[in-house]
Amino acid sequence: MTKLLEWLLGVSLIGVAWGLFTFDLLDLQLPPQCRELAWPMPVYLLVVFGCYSLATVGYRVATFNDCENAAKELQAQIKEAKEDLKKKGLKINNDYLKQKSSSEVPLIPFKLPKLLRGGQTVKRGADLQSEGQSSENTRSGCELRNQSAV
């Protein structure tokens, strides 16, 4: 049985149980408070799930292991590699690598993949690392890591 079928089966079982309690289809004569408790249950579970998601995202934003030095160094390396490749004739048309006019380093693109993957390595810039340039800042302890393997 596929995962989808499992989930659908579970959800429909819970839905049937909820329907039985809410509409009193088996005439179980439960105390009125139990019926009062049962009928908002689907909405309640959704709200609880939403609160949990919001809290998790907020907590991970607050405890994210920023490495501003490493990010700036990486941006400089990307620029250097891009110019080097341009000299060798490679045309790069990648909007992500465009340097914005503002002085602030765009750190958000580095944070989102980390947030969404919950701690796995960041893939961007991995190809540029294979150019042979080694960084003096090994970025140990920071959560911004480059690996040549995907």
Partner 1 sequence: MMATGADQAVGFGLVGFSLLLFTYYTIWVIVLPFVDSDHVIHSYFLPREYSVILPGVAALILLFFVGTFIGVVTWKNRKPKKVD
Cβ proximity to partner 1, 25 vs 55, nearer residue? 55
Residue 97: exposure state from Cβ atoms within 10 A (0-12, 13-18, ≥19): middle
Minimum CB separation of residue 59 from partner 1 in Å reads 5
DSSP string, 34-62: HHHHHTTHHHHHHHHHHHHHHHHHHHHHH
Cβ proximity to partner 1, 7 vs 52, nearer residue? 52
3-class secondary-structure state, position 139 = coil
Cβ proximity to partner 1, 31 vs 132, nearer residue? 31
- Cβ within 8 Å of residue 130, ≥6 positions away: 148
Rounded Cα gap, residues 103 and 60, in angstroms: 26
Q: Which residues bind partner 1 (CB under 8 A)?
A: 33, 36-37, 39-40, 43-44, 46-48, 51-52, 54-55, 57-68, 141-142
Cβ proximity to partner 1, 69 vs 99, nearer residue? 69
Minimum CB separation of residue 20 from partner 1 in Å reads 18
Minimum CB separation of residue 66 from partner 1 in Å reads 5
